[in-house]
């Protein structure tokens, strides 16, 4: 039994996973703790209560977190998490539970989750792109998760797409994430409709997707522009490190055909002829509630294989 922990900007999910299924689950707030220490205390209490409730013996812990570094086991200066310093969470949890703990980047965890249990099964080379508040990505290269020498490979959200383009949260300009993310899409929609105000992000892009399904021209145009930007980003990633398949997950991917329709069209035009027809483009194969937990557990599964 693996304890999976999926740390998000507002909510942290915990689950007990065996054989690629979530058997028990709970959740807690990520925010509202005074400091990292009280977050870790609360997390430990929740995890122990979950294990006690099920009577299961936890053999290992997997944690997916923004800016999680698998080489150090630390969450490093995550801009969306409510503590400033680096947090050596893998070490703290391993000590507390006396079992091994693997901590990794949430986008890498998602990639492993899709690879082991979702829409990426059977590929030796896979790109998984998580579209939500930001744009995260994880790459499986020749049967292994690509970490890179600094533990932070696969930052597709921060390839520069439009030189001197929109300001990005990373401090630079024109990154793919500034165009293809909840905030990016809302900004595109505001530009298309010539609204001065960008809608709030609580509902994500669902209202725009709903409008697009009802034939709203501005909403359709917003998704077409989004698809055009994303297609270039994906085609460029394929040129450098070609996968057999690209899996899109996260809230924006759940928009379905209003995104995937134009995306497949643009992607077919943008991809190099030597890769034409070779790279599949599919949606996540995991339930939204399970994806992060299965991904966190997959960090443990992948580590065992290495």
What span, in angstroms and rounded, lies between the C-alpha atoms of 96 and 45?
10
Closer residue to a second copy, CB minimum distance, 71 or 95: 71
SS3 86: coil
Question: By CB under 8 A, is residue 268 in contact with a second copy?
Answer: no
Closest approach of a second copy to the CB of residue 17, in Å: 27
Alpha-carbon span 5 to 15, nearest angstrom: 7
Residue 273 sits in the site that holds a second copy (CB under 8 A): yes
- Which residues 210-249 are close enough to bind a second copy by CB under 8 A? 228, 232, 235-237, 239-244
The answer for residues whose C-beta is within 8 angstroms of residue 168's C-beta and 6 or more apart is: 158, 174, 175, 177, 178
Q: Which is nearer to a second copy, 44 or 72 (CB)?
A: 72
Examine residue 150 and tell whether it contacts a second copy (CB under 8 A).
yes
Does 71 bind a second copy (CB under 8 A)? Our answer is: no
Q: Is residue 276 involved in binding a second copy (CB under 8 A)?
A: no
- To the nearest whole angstrom, how small is the minimum distance from the Cβ of residue 89 to a second copy? 18
Residue pair 30/81 in contact by the 8 Å Cβ criterion? yes
| Cα(90)–Cα(298) distance, integer angstroms | 15
Q: Report DSSP state, residue 167.
A: B
Residue count, binding to a second copy (CB under 8 A): 40
Q: Which two tokens stand for residue 50?
A: 């979950």
- 172 is an interface residue for a second copy by CB under 8 A: yes
Shorter beta-carbon distance to a second copy: residue 45 or 278: 278
Residue with tokens 């599949």: 280
DSSP 8-state code for residue 172: S
Shortest Å distance, C-beta 94 to a second copy: 25
What's the CA gap between 155 and 173, in Å, rounded? 15
Beta bridge partners of 3: 16, 61
Of the ranges 91-99, 128-136, 151-159, 192-200, which one interacts with a second copy (CB under 8 A)?
151-159
Q: Which is nearer to a second copy, 142 or 305 (CB)?
A: 142
Binder of a second copy out of 158, 183, 225, 302 (CB under 8 A): 158
CB of 122 to a second copy, least distance (A): 12
- Token pair, residue 148, equals 């890179």
Q: Torsions phi, psi of 147, nearest 5?
A: -100, -35
Parallel, antiparallel, or unpaired for β 60-65 and 101-105? parallel
Cβ 104 to a second copy shortest distance, Å = 15
Q: DSSP class of residue 57? A: P
- Minimum separation from the CB atom of position 83 to a second copy (A): 18
Q: Which residues bind a second copy (CB under 8 A)?
A: 123-125, 139, 141-142, 144, 146, 148-150, 152-156, 158-160, 163, 170-172, 228, 232, 235-237, 239-244, 270, 272-275, 278
């Amino acid at each position: 039994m693996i304890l999976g922990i999926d740390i998000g900007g507002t909510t942290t999910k915990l689950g007990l996973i065996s054989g690629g299924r979530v058997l028990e689950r709970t959740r807690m707030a990520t925010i509202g703790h005074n400091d990292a220490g009280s977050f870790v205390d609360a997390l430990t209490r929740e995890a122990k209560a979950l294990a006690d409730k099920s009577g299961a013996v936890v053999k290992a812990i997997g944690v997916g977190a923004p800016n999680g570094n698998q080489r150090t086991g630390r969450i490093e200066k995550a801009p969306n998490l409510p503590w400033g310093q680096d947090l050596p969470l893998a070490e703290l949890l391993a000590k507390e539970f006396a079992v091994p703990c693997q901590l990794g980047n949430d986008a890498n965890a998602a990639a492993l989750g899709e690879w082991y249990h979702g829409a990426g099964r059977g590929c030796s080379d896979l790109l998984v792109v998580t579209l939500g508040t930001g744009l995260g990505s994880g790459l499986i290269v020749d049967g292994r998760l690509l970490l890179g020498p600094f533990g932070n490979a696969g930052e597709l959200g921060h390839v520069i797409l439009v030189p001197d383009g929109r300001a990005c949260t990373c401090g630079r300009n024109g990154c793919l994430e500034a165009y293809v993310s909840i905030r990016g899409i809302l900004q595109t929609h505001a530009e298309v409709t010539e609204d001065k105000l960008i809608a709030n992000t609580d509902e994500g892009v669902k209202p725009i997707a709903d409008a697009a399904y009802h034939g709203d021209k501005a909403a359709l145009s917003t998704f077409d522009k989004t698809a055009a930007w994303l297609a270039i980003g994906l085609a460029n990633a394929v040129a450098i490190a070609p996968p057999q398949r690209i899996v899109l997950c996260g809230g924006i991917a759940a928009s379905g055909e209003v995104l995937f329709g134009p995306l497949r069209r643009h992607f077919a035009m943008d991809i190099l002829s030597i890769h034409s027809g070779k790279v599949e483009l599919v949606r996540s194969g995991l339930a939204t509630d399970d994806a992060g937990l299965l991904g966190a557990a997959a960090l443990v599964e992948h580590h065992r294989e290495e």
